[in-house]
């Protein structure tokens, strides 16, 4: 189906008529008219086709041509006096605006563009949309600079987690996706439904310092503040929460042991006030990376542990962080087949 021809809407600005359906990218000396949503672009075919195999495939004539974007699977067809450009995903005019800004104005995609602009260029330059491979690759690199793939470096106040997760799901950034899903589990306040009140985990009642490893992990029901997540991602987060708790509970509730009897005794004495008690206050049981970072940050020598044991344990806790990070690859299903 071909979009209907757009009405030209003329408005008066500073005494002259301006067509408000025209994009900023409207060049009188250009020959390619492109209609996307309610916006019309008039751009230089030779410049655009240099960047995009999709545009190179258009059967072109020397003269002016109008191209209407059609979203279907398949190849381009000629409809009436318009060429139709066929794409697999809807294209936003604002995204094309950002892309043309990059092409025409040489704005510095690599260095200064923020997330919304990079996301626009990433989408519109993808193969599912207008297919600008080199620009797409550059926008991927910039995206990886903008959104750290390490959860301890992600900040929910400065990184747009939900929008970035959508991009990561759709355009295959597995490491960014993993970091964001982990972060969402730790900030989302999923609720516990305790299966067994004798084995409460992460609540205000004090558990045994020796965990009962046979206890069923608490079942999770997502709370109401996760509406920005797809139902699939909600399920992944809920599942991840259970796995993180099951994995981390023994480490958290079992006092560390030192190489010396005295150090082991001291760890046993100090584990509850230094580690377990604080973990109740910030739900540390399902935040292994953060909790281990805090445990590493405790001045254990001051708490009576010898230098050698304190250093050895710090290394072990770092290894445990790495182990959790690797485990997440098993626990998070891939996006394969998610996006069509
Ligand atoms: Zn020691």
Is the per-residue pLDDT at 129 higher than 60?
yes
26 three-state secondary structure: strand
Residue 11, C-beta contacts closer than 8 angstroms, at least 6 positions apart:
17, 18, 20
Question: Does residue 83 sit in helix, strand or coil?
Answer: strand
Read off the pLDDT of each residue in 266-283 and give the average, rounded to a whole number: 95
Give the span between the Cα atoms of 26 and 23, in whole angstroms: 6
β-partners of residue 40 are 22, 35
Tell me the CATH number for domain 10-93: 3.30.710
Q: What is the mean pLDDT of residues 198-218?
A: 39
Q: Which of 184, 297, 320 is nearest to 248 (CA)?
A: 320
State in Å: Cα 8 to ligand 1 middle: 81
Q: Does 219 have pLDDT greater than 70?
A: no
pTM above 0.85, yes or no: no
| pLDDT, averaged across the chain | 80
Residue 84, φ and ψ in degrees, nearest 5: -105, 130
Split at pLDDT 50, 70, 90, the class of 199 is very low
220 SS3 class: strand
pLDDT of 60 = 61
> Residue 181 C-alpha to ligand 1 middle, in angstroms?
38
Q: How many CB atoms lie within 10 A of CB 323?
A: 13
Alpha carbon of 299 to ligand 1 centroid (Å): 14
Residue range(s) occupied by CATH 3.30.710 in the chain: 10-93
pLDDT of residue 82: 63
Higher pLDDT, 196 or 239: 239
Mean pLDDT across 193-206: 37
What is the tens place of the pLDDT at every residue in 222-258? 444 456 788 889 889 999 999 999 999 999 999 999 9
Specify the pLDDT at position 35: 82
255: CA distance to ligand 1 center in Å? Answer: 14
Percent of the chain having pLDDT more than 90? 49
State in Å: Cα 264 to ligand 1 middle.
8
Residue with tokens 């929460």: 241
Residues 31, 50 contacting (CB under 8 angstroms): no
Of residues 53 and 270, the one with the higher pLDDT is 270
- Find the largest Cα–Cα distance for the chain: 89
pLDDT tens column, 91-128: 898 999 999 999 987 666 656 778 999 999 999 999 98
């Amino acid at each position: 189906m071909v979009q209907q021809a757009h009405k030209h809407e003329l408005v008066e600005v500073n005494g002259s008529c301006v067509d408000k359906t025209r994009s900023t990218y409207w060049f009188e000396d250009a020959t390619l008219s492109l209609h996307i949503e309610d916006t019309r672009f008039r751009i230089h075919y030779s410049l655009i086709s240099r960047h995009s195999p999709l545009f190179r495939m258009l059967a072109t004539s020397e003269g002016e041509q109008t191209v209407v974007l059609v979203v279907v699977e398949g190849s381009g067809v000629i409809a009436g006096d318009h060429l139709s450009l066929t794409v697999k995903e809807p294209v936003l005019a604002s995204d094309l605006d950002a892309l043309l800004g990059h092409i025409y104005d040489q704005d510095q995609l690599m260095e200064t563009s923020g997330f919304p602009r990079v996301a626009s260029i990433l989408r519109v330059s993808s193969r599912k949309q207008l297919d600008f491979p080199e620009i797409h690759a550059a926008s991927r690199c910039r995206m990886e600079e903008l959104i750290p793939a390490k959860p301890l470096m992600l900040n929910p106040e400065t990184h747009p987690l939900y929008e970035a997760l959508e991009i990561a799901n759709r355009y295959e950034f597995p490491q960014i996706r993993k970091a964001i899903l982990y972060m969402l589990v730790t900030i989302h306040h999923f609720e516990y439904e305790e299966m067994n009140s004798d084995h409460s985990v992460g609540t205000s009642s004090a558990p045994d310092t020796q965990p009962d490893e046979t206890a069923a992990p608490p079942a999770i029901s997502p709370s109401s503040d996760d509406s920005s997540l797809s139902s699939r991602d909600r399920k992944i987060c809920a599942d991840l929460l259970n796995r993180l708790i099951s994995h981390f509970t023994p480490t958290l509730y079992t006092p560390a042991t030192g190489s010396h009897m005295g150090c082991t005794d001291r760890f046993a004495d100090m584990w509850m006030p230094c580690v377990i008690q604080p973990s109740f206050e910030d739900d540390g049981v399902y935040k292994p990376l953060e909790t281990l970072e805090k445990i590493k940050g405790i001045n254990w020598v001051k708490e009576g542990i010898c230098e050698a044991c304190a250093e050895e344990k710090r290394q072990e806790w770092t290894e445990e962080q790495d182990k959790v990070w690797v485990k997440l690859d098993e626990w998070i299903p891939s996006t394969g087949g998610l996006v069509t």
